[in-house]
Each structure stands twice: as C-alpha cells, then as structure tokens.
Chain A
Amino acid sequence: MTTLVRPGIVGGVGTSLLRPDGIPKIKGEFAFSSDLEAEGMLWGATVRSPHPRARIVAIDAAPALAISGVRTVLTQDDVPGSGHFGLERPDQPVLAFGETRYWGQPVAIVAAEDHETARRAADAVRIEYEVLAPLVDPAEAVRLGSTFRTIEIRNGDPDAHGEIVVTGEYEVGMQDQAPLGTESGLAIPDGMGGVDLHIATQWLHADHEQVVAALGLPPDQIRLHNAGVGGAFGSREDISLQIHLCLLALRTGRPVKMVYDRAESFVGHVHRHPARMRYRHEADRDGTLVRVEADLVFDGGAYASTSSAVLANGCYFAVGPYRAKSVHITGASARTNNPTAGAMRGFGAPQPCFAYEAQMDRLAAALGMDPVALRLRNALGTGDRIPTTNQVIVGSLPTREVIESVAAMPLPDPETADDPRSLPGGTGLTTPPGAVRRGIGFAVGIKNLAFSESFDDFSEVRGVLTADGLELHTAACENGQGMVTVLEQIGRSASGLQRVTVVFADTSKIGSAGSTSASRQTQMTGGAALRAATAVREEALRRGGGDHLDDAGVWRGGRLVAPLAGLLGDGPIEHLERFRHPPTAKPDAFGRGDVHAGFVVAAHRAVVDVDPELGLVRVVRLDTAQDVGRALNPLSILGQIEGGIMQGVGLAVMEEIVLEGGVMKNASFTDYLLPTFLDAPQVEAILVEQPDHWGPFGAKGVGEPPTISSTAAVAAAIRDATGAPINRVPVRPQDIAFGSPESPVTSHQQAKSPRPRS
C-alpha cells in the first residue's frame, strides 16, 4: 500500500480534519441559498394544484395582477423551450397544462415586490378545475400497465429448490428527506438575455441541462452557481424551482428569489418510493440459500424522476449480500397520481433490505439456526457473483467481516433505565420500566457505488497552483456531508502542499462533477482531485527541478530551489482531470451483466426497548460495522454513520407521509415526525478497512450504507421483543399492540400476552 500521508503534512487523508466551513456555520454567518439577496430583487411564489388529478379548465391571472406590487403571473404558455424537464426523461411540464397529475403540482408562478405580496398573488390566481378520479393504488396501476419500468431478473439454475421455505409480504411507507433547508434560490438576469442562478442543489450540470432545454436557451446563457445547501439526502436531485426562477428573472428583468415554506417543500420534491414486496426464500437444511423469488412494486408517483434506476437498484439488491443458486425477481415502478417518488439516501436499496432481512430471520427460525450464522454461511465476498446480475465482485466486499464485527460488539446493560427520557413514550410518561421488553435485531445491507447500467459517470476537477498553494476547482455540490473537507485532505496528501483550497466553480467554468448522490463524491470528485493534485505536483517538481514540494516551494536534496511563486513564471501550472470509474454495462434481457462499478456493505445491530402493550418503541442503541474501503476522514464518516442511522431509525418507527386519495395528510413538521435528541440511539461504529479497487486511496463512498440496513435492524429488534410480525415500516403503535397490521384488535388479553420470544 502506498503511504497515505506525506511526511510533514497535517490534515491529510486518514486524519479527522475539521471542516473548513464549520466556523462560519457555527457563527450563523454561512450563507445558505435562502439567505441570498440582490438589489432590486423580486420574490417568486408558486400556484399549486389542490387536486391529485384534474383537468385545468381555465386560468385567470387578472385578480393576482390587480394586486399592487405584482409584476408577473406565468403559466406553461409562457415557457419558451421544450417546456419539460426530468432526470431520466423530460416528462414533467415546467407548469401543469391540460391535466394536473399530483397534489401540489405547480400550475402557475408569480413574481412580486415582496414575499407577502407574492404569496397573496399566488392565492389570488383563479384556476378552474374539473376534478378527475386519481389513480392511487400502485398495484392497480401495474395491472393497468401504468408503469415507468418493469424488470425481470432470472439467474442461476431455474430448477434449484430448497427444502425449507419461508414466504412473506412486506410494505414500506413513503419517507421524506426533510432536509432542514427548504428549496430556495436566487436568479439574477445578466441584462443580455442570460441568467445566473444561485441554487442549493445536488448536481449543477444536470440542473443546467434541464433548465436550458426547458427554456430553449443556448447553454452559455444560463450559469448555475453553488449556493449554501441546507441538507439534501436525494431531495435536490430533481428540478424544483430552478426553471421557475430563471423564467421569472428573464420575464421581469429583475433578480428573483424563491423560498419554499415547509408545507410546499413536502410537495416540492420527490420522496422515497413506497414499496410492496412479496418474497419466497428456499434453503437447504444446512442453511445454504438456494432460491430467492421476489416481486417488488414501487410507487413512482406522477412523473418518471429516477424511478427507473431506483427500481433497478431495488431488484438488483433484492437478495441482499448473499449467494443464492437460483434467483427470480420481478419489479415494477408504478405510475400513479401520488406524489412523485425518486432519490432518497439508499436509492432503492433500503426497501428490499427490510424485506430480505426479515426473510433471513424467518429462515433462521425455520432452520433452528442462529440468524448471524445463517448470514455468515451465505455472505457474499470478493470473487463471488452478485446473485441477481451474475456480476463478479472484483473490488473489496467484507460482508463476513462487517457481520462478525457487529456480532462481537458488547451489548448494553440489559437493565432499562428509570428515567422516562430513556423509556418508550419518553416524557409522555406512558410506560413504567416494568412494562418494557428488550429486543435485539440484526441486519446487513448492500448497495452499488456511483452510477450504473452504462451511464457515463465522471467528475472534473481542475488543480491550479498559485503562489498561495493548491486550488481544487469543482462544480461538485457540498450538501453538508463534508466533501469539501475530504477534497482538501486528498489535495494535501497528493500534492504535499499544506495550503489547499476547494473553489466552487459555476457551470460555465468547469465540466460536470456528477451528482452528490449515490455515495459517489469521495470516490469520483475525490478521484479527480487525487489525479489533478498529483499532476500539479509532478509539473511543479519538473519545473523546479526538485524532489520535494511543500508550501515553501520545490526542494532538492533538502535545499529550497524554487519558491512557489517562482514556479509560475513560465505560465500557470494547471491540470484538468476528468475522472471516470470502471465502465458499466447495460443489463441483458434477464437483468444480468456487469452493471455496477462497485459495492459496499454494512451491518447493523439494534437494541430496542418496547412497551408491547401500548406499542411504543425506544431505540436504545444501534451498533454498526461499515465497509469504508479506506477511512479518509474518520470523524466525517462517523457523522455520516450517525446521521444515516437516524434516518433509518426514523423510517423504522415514525417517519411517513400519510396519503389519502393522493393527498398528503401530514405535510408539516407537526405531523411528519422527525427523530429528536430524545429519540436518538447511542451509536458505536467499527470501520472495516479493506481498500477498494478504484476509489482514491482505496476509499469507498460512505453516505448511504448507514441508512440501508438500520431500518431492518430496528424492525427485527421489535419482532424480537414482541413476537409481532412487523411486516411494515414505519411500525405504528397498533402494529405492535394488536400483533399484526392485518389482524386488528383482538382482545386486551392477547395484547397483554405476546408470543414468546423467538
């Protein structure tokens, strides 16, 4: 292995360097997209459909335009270009026309002199609708052929069967990313027909491409700039207000700012796909997994977004990190009039993980085998084939190690604390310690790294040597995860320079960095940064004629031969790197092929205290071991692990958008419940380091694995504590108290005497 840290370098890779934006953020001085202002700025607001499905009969903007201070009201008729956008296919109109297809869909936009007037104007636009019956049942949609993609995967010996069979049906509710910063941005017209858009997003260039196409503008007329991002988690992959802002700025000739309120944010971005999954597992008596059959229906909602890729992930990882001789998976992403689903942390992997890990526990019970031993027996590793795609795993995949590491971690004190803050029900004082039962659950998850299925996935970084050190220019988006920190570390370790600065470049200055998603920036933009910084160093050494570079300059034989500034006399030292991961292929007709660039695994063990009688849960502890390839910044990784686990716990026990006929019933932080400080479990994490084959220094992405199997582990722990089947997440009190979502209240007696622990 190469040395990670050059002698003398502080804060290179492998250290827990603190983030450079930490100080401005802790002082409240960091500018988020919603904090931006410009001279003469207008405020925009959005008119939204109050119906999941309706025909737009007429739009009357006159009452809005009559309000003093209102500058414009625009509809789809005012959109000059293709008028459509979409990440995978441009199927979504900038503003609804003809028919609205989901509750809260934008129908018109307004701009006014101030925020209050803009909101009033939006309320004043009169729209006549003819309400139509929405299609809201995804199973019905699949029957009708209303889908974005269907997939069938067949691999292995179709006739292979096992003696022990377990079947199950599982359901996952709709989760919201709920980043604390809502959608917001500021568009500033340049006076020459173009616009500079300052925006909180996950992928500047993908937004740019969609904006210019929708508005029919030459690409150089629109420039997108990174603005401070208040979290993302997938919610900012799709277009929300980007095109609206540019359109309003172009039409009014004034800077325009928009900030969604929380209720709007819930309808203003896509969500995690709700899923219904049917499974059949067959195994030999010795626990060898023989056959897995699964049918997955994901509700994609109204528009395509990334449904196709999310469903593919769900299907490719439908078996989990296990070998199986025979696999048959079918999947469909339904097109309905529910809110659009798309990217959220884990991107299709958490849903099947909840199901296959429940199946593995059931299988272990049917075999009379220890659940951990069953998983170890079937664990995938380097050299094995992914059971669905048949792809050989060439990078590291320490499934066995993450399982063994977690299983070996000490368990917490079995005694339940007396403090209500630590009990189920919390400060609601519902639950005396005597009413609590402890449960322990285990789960393992797998996912792909970066983009797949032949997508041309790359990231550009320009390394620039200045008299002050190294600059790394990138269009990559820092969403809070700490990419900016790890790029700095990679720059230091690769160049030998201590002074490394990440410079955020707009879309006109550099090529795409790809999306800040799919756990990919450490590997992709980090990979580009490594090569760019290395090239800059080599050129500096060549010009200086030396053997060592640091902030002073180039050294030879321990003597400074050229100061940094002196190296630049012959022109700038720059290197533009476009980094690609190993190519991936499209799947064949049965879903097979080398469709993925790499894989990552993590294991979680949840300890819960449950009040079985009232159905209340306190997640006490969540321990994990995660495959990280190489830990470039342990502190940042722990931050991703703890944060990702919290989102997984949220999906397990409280986070769900409740829909009724396509209408959200809880689009607010009052009723969409996010875990608080009092709901957070203790987390212990082990980082398993087995360098991967292409990430910088062997690193893997770390953002998504914490979310994939933590939900399944909590569900398993609740099953362990209560004996309730828990076939659905989030687990609701009645699911525990009444034993099963399918069989509602039986008797007091039954709820008080849960089945014995398995």
Chain B
Amino acid sequence: MIRITVNGVARTADPAGPESLLTTLRDRLGLPGSKNACEQGECGSCSVILDGELVCSCLVMAADADGSEVRTIEGIDDHGTLNAIQEAMVGAGGVQCGFCTPGIVVAATHLFEANPHPTEGEIREALAGNICRCTGYGAIVRALTAVAGTEAS
C-alpha cells in the first residue's frame, strides 16, 4: 500500500509488484488523463510532476512514489478554468488527436513555472521529450511563444 498526494488530495493505492506510477494513476486511481503511448520514456505522453520534477510516470515505480506529491493533467488547470498554456494551445490549433496533449500541457506548465519567458529554442528543447504525431509542432510552438511573449518576429 502506498500513500501519495495526487493533485493536492491524499490517496492510497495498492500497486501490483513493480507496476508503474502511470498504471497506478490510470487503473487504480481513476486518473486516465496521463496517457500510455510508449512505456519507455520516449514520448512524454505520461508526463507528471513528481515532487516538483517533470518525469515520465511510466518510468516511476509506483511503490517508489510512496510519500510523494504528484501533479497530473487533471490537476494542472487554474482552479477549474484552463491555464494560459491550455488556452493558448486550443486557440492556436495545437490539439488534433489529443493523445500527446496532456503530456505536453504538463511539461509546458512545468517549464513556465520555472521560466515564465522561455525563448523558442528553450521551449523546443524543454519539450523535446514530448512527441506529437499530428501537428508537426508548429501550432504548439506558436501558442507557447505567445504565452512566453517571445514570439519570433
């Protein structure tokens, strides 16, 4: 049995053996927003913020998250309304199939909390672990540089 704080709420779960935090979130805690697309840390769809660090929840052993604090896509918005990143991405056409979207929102939110005005290069490098197969990234970059106030002229 593990005790974790998920999006500010104390939860307990009983992960099976070495199962990943992603599996625990999705299948045991009713939080399917984090997506499973590769399970080897190569796509970022399962990104969560664990004790302040951006990680792939598929590579976190749930049993090792005992006592930790986790923020997922379900807890990333701004008290029920879209945060600035979410707002900008939807408006710029940065969402197509949407499977990568939760991971990108979490990763971008983590970036902007540390650095509110990243350059385009910083945004691209910080999100290089998040694969999107639909958009070609252009609309997402336009959205995020707009939020950062660092749009290329």
Contact = CB atoms under 8 A, between A and B. Distances in A.
A55 B35 CA distance: 38
A181 interface: yes
A644 B35 contact: no
A34 interface: yes
Contacts of A422: 121
Contact of A668 (B40, B124, B128, B135): B40
A754 interface: no
Given A670-B40, A677-B128, A26 B137 contact: no
Contacts of B105: 26, 28
18 contacts: A19-B95, A22-B90, A23-B82, A25-B101, A35-B26, A179-B97, A230-B97, A230-B98, A259-B36, A427-B125, A481-B96, A639-B134, A643-B136, A646-B136, A668-B42, A676-B130, A677-B141, A683-B138
Interface string A17-52: 011011101111111101100000000000000000
Interface string B58-84: 000000000000001110010000100
A248 B91 CA distance: 42
B34 interface: yes
B124 A18 contact: no
Given A179-B99, A479-B97, A480-B96, A27 B39 contact: no
A53 to B, nearest CB: 29
B135 A639 contact: yes
A123 interface: no
A180 B37 CA distance: 5
B118 interface: no
Given A28-B73, A669-B40, A677-B124, A638 B93 contact: yes
In order of increasing CB-CB distance, the 6 nearest A-B pairs are A480-B97, A28-B33, A25-B98, A642-B136, A28-B73, A230-B99
Interface of A: 16, 18-19, 21-23, 25-32, 34-35, 114-116, 178-182, 228-233, 259, 261-262, 419, 421-422, 427, 479-482, 635-636, 638-639, 641-647, 668-670, 674, 676-678, 680, 682-683
Given A233-B133, A635-B93, A678-B125, A35 B42 contact: no
Given A669-B42, A674-B131, 11 more contacts: A22-B95, A28-B72, A28-B74, A421-B125, A422-B121, A480-B97, A669-B37, A676-B127, A676-B128, A677-B130, A680-B137
Nearest to B23: A115
Contacts of B35: 32, 34, 180-181, 230
A639 B93 contact: yes
Nearest to A680: B137
Q: Which of A422, A479, A646, A647: most chain B Cβ within 10 A?
A: A646
A104 B34 CA distance: 28
A3 B132 CA distance: 37
B98 to A, nearest CB: 3
A641 B134 CA distance: 10
Given A28-B102, A262-B38, A642 B139 contact: yes
B98 A35 contact: no
Nearest to B129: A676
Interface string B114-128: 000000010111011
A645 B137 CA distance: 11
B4 interface: no
B134 to A, nearest CB: 5
Q: Which of B86, B95, B130 has the most CB of A within 10 A?
A: B95
A228 B35 CA distance: 13
B2 interface: no
B49 interface: no
A654 to B, nearest CB: 12
B45 interface: yes
A218 B73 CA distance: 43
Which of A30, A427, A481, A647 gathers the greatest number of chain B CB atoms within 10 Å?
Answer: A30
A636 B96 CA distance: 9
Contacts of A182: 36-37
Interface of B: 16-17, 19, 23, 26-27, 32-40, 42-43, 45, 72-74, 77, 82, 86, 89-91, 93, 95-102, 105, 121, 123-125, 127-141
Nearest to B34: A28
Contacts of B97: 179-181, 229-232, 479-480
Nearest to A482: B96
Contacts of B16: 114, 116
Contacts of B134: 231, 480-481, 639, 643
Given A28-B73, A180-B37, A669-B42, A678 B124 contact: yes
Given A180-B43, A180-B133, A677 B99 contact: no
A635 B90 CA distance: 11
Nearest to A29: B33
Contacts of A178: 133
Most buried by B among A22, A643, A677: A677
Given A427-B125, A677-B128, A26 B138 contact: no
A422 B45 CA distance: 25
Contacts of A115: 23, 27
Contact of B135 (A262, A643, A682): A643
Nearest to B135: A643
A743 B7 CA distance: 58
A646 B134 CA distance: 9
B100 A180 contact: yes
Contact of B136 (A28, A678, A680): A680
B28 to A, nearest CB: 11
Q: Which of B38, B45, B102, B131 has the most CB of A within 10 A?
A: B38
A34 B125 CA distance: 29
Contacts of A34: 35-36
B96 A674 contact: no
B108 to A, nearest CB: 11
A441 B84 CA distance: 38
B39 A261 contact: yes
Contact of B137 (A23, A116, A677): A677
Contacts of A427: 125, 128
A644 B95 CA distance: 15
Contacts of B23: 115
B136 A644 contact: yes
Contacts of B73: 27-28
Nearest to A228: B98
Contacts of A22: 90, 95, 98
A331 to B, nearest CB: 29
Contacts of B121: 419, 421-422
A644 B135 CA distance: 8
A23 to B, nearest CB: 6
A179 B90 CA distance: 20
Contacts of B129: 676
Contacts of A262: 37-40
Nearest to A115: B27
A178 B131 CA distance: 10
B145 to A, nearest CB: 12
B86 A231 contact: no
A26 B42 contact: no
A643 B90 contact: no
Contacts of A642: 135-139
A419 B89 CA distance: 26
Contacts of B125: 421, 427, 677-678
Nearest to A683: B138
A261 to B, nearest CB: 6
A668 B129 CA distance: 15
A28 B45 CA distance: 11
A26 B37 contact: no
A181 B130 CA distance: 14
A651 to B, nearest CB: 13
A185 to B, nearest CB: 15
A18 B19 CA distance: 38
Nearest to B17: A116
Contacts of A16: 93
Contacts of B34: 28
Contacts of A647: 133
Given A28-B73, A669-B43, A231 B99 contact: yes
